[in-house]
Structure 1
Amino acid sequence: MPSSVPSFAELLGRCQRSAVHLEMRDAYAPTDRFEAWKRGERINWDDRQSWWHSYDQLISDTVARGVEIRRARVVSEPVSEYIRWEHYVTHANVTAGEQVRWLPRRLATDIALPGNDFWAFDETLLRVHHFDGDGTVVEDEITDDPSTVKLCVSAFQAVWERAIPHDQYRI
């Protein structure tokens, strides 16, 4: 059965001003890239062709047309091995044009956070990610419910204001 949720590329294509992503898990389902990193393989950042993916191009194209893309990650410290890897590969996100910040979880105690990771598009539409306990996406949900969007956008903004820019966050 085909998904009724528009693709990320379609949602980003409709976006006119901003797309923000809040991530709150300390681990997601392992990928081949993560497993390679754990074996000691590293990316040659000088060879952009070897690591630049369609996602990076989509972000770059979207930023080039004037959409601000921000990602905030709430993380436990000391960070998990997965977050250590995410920090390493965030070089690609930043190169593509995303602004990325990190917030130690201990500094988020007084922020009302939603129960799920999400993307908010133009502060009017959410793509909410539902994961299983191992960090595998079970499904994505789309909502434009004004109170839910308001909660998520305000949570993102509160995290963003406290979070540490990627180039300053040390793990």
Structure 2
Amino acid sequence: MPRELLERFVPRKSAPAVSELVTGAAFDALFSGFAHTARRLETRTHYDIENERESFDQFLNGEAVDLGWFAPWLDTMRTQTGAGKTVARVRVVPPELTDYLRYELHLAESNTTAGEDIRYLDRATANDLCLPDRDFWLFDSHILAVLHFTDAGQLLGAEIITDPAIVVEHARWLDAAFHHAQPYREFVQEHPPR
């Protein structure tokens, strides 16, 4: 990631903790500004994302799911993966998928078609690996974005961390998660979303 872009995201030490969270356009820029890899660990069983609520309800009601709201993300993923970059995530899941996780599994077809590598890891294995119980993105193996949520699952923003020791620890967790996780195509065969 270019230095000038990195400087936009590294919080100033004097700022209060809540103002250090990256949100909005600055958060979106993380996904257009990385040079090689963007990897994520997802640990929540539900997210409350405003622009997907309608399609989530459609999914729950067995209706056709309108993915118009999803187009900007998918366009970004096609652009990044088309440029030879890697976007990958591991979703930690319980034995019984929640409605929201089934919905995400339904959406994963579009994610993977756009070039993302999505994998699934059962909660027991995640616990055995001592993975953290928090979501984060790791960009280019040196910029960590720890995601903060409300109890209801609404994203508050990302805490940007560049301390090498903390980044390396999170990279190690991601490596272990990816090593043990099941690829989307296999997982969806065993766990059809509907």
Tell me, yes or no, whether TM beats 0.5.
yes
State the Cα distance separating 1:134 from its structure 2 match: 1.2
Q: Distance in 2 between matches of 1:114 and 1:146?
A: 17
Native 8 Å contact 2:143 2:162 kept in 1: yes
Task: Tell me what 1:40 maps to.
Answer: 62
Superposed counterparts of 1:60-99, under 5 Å: 60-99=78-117
Q: Tell me if 1:156 matches 2:174.
A: yes
After TM superposition, give the deviation of residue 65 of structure 1 in Å: 1.2
2:43 paired residue among 12, 18, 24: 24
The TM-score normalised by the length of structure 2 is 0.78
Aligned equivalent of 1:121, options 125, 130, 139: 139
For residue 130 of structure 1, report the CA deviation from its aligned partner: 0.6
User: Contact conserved, 1:52 with 1:92, CA < 8 A, in 2?
Assistant: no
> What's the Cα RMSD here?
2.1
Q: Which amino acid in 2 is paired with 1:95? A: T
**Which residue in 2 is equivalent to 1:166?**
184
User: In 2, Cα distance between the equivalents of 1:167 and 1:125?
Assistant: 29
CA distance in 2, matches of 1:137, 1:111: 26
**Structure 1 regions of 5+ residues with no counterpart?**
none
Q: Once the two structures are superposed, what CA deviation does each residue of 1:118-170 show, in whole Å capped at 9, x if it has no partner?
A: 11100000111111211111232111111221111111111111110000002
1:137 and 1:50 map into 2 onto residues whose CA distance is: 21
CA distance in structure 2 between the partners assigned to 1:98 and 1:26 by the alignment: 20
1:142 corresponds in structure 2 to 160
Change over 3 Å in CA distance of 1:148–1:114 after alignment to 2: farther
Q: Deviations over 1:81-109 (max 9, x none)?
A: 11111111111110110001000111222
Equivalent position SS for 2:41:
strand
